[in-house]
Structure 1
Amino acid sequence: MCHGRDRQSSTGAQGAGARAAAAAADVNRAAFGRTKAERARDAADRARVERVLDQARRDGEEG
């Protein structure tokens, strides 16, 4: 009996696609697989960075 995973690993194109999908899954896990405390910490870090950057802007400057 042949399993789908075995067939994928035998072909280069599908194997590359599987690796890309695994990499995308890792990115999603890092972004969305976090605890409430980790999300809150990251939001606080982003807010702090924005405040620091806003303080460094001159009047009339955008972005």
Structure 2
Amino acid sequence: MTSFHPALILIIAALAVYILPGRLRQIAFIGGPLLALLSVLTMAAGTVWHYSFIGYELTIW
């Protein structure tokens, strides 16, 4: 689906839930976790993410 880590999708959805009013909030509340789940289910086997921060390398399996 995307190259975003599923946790990033959840964080963005949480911010949307905080900002949006009424019915849109309910949609984001349900849609965010569903998009993250869809992202996990469509990942290819062996997918890893590499992040560099202050000279350290972080590899997320």
TM bucket, shorter chain: 0.3 to 0.5
In proportion to residue count, which structure has more strand?
Answer: 2
Q: Which has the higher contact order (CA 8 A, sep 6+)?
A: 2
TM-score normalised over the length of structure 1:
0.36
TM-score normalised over the length of structure 2:
0.37
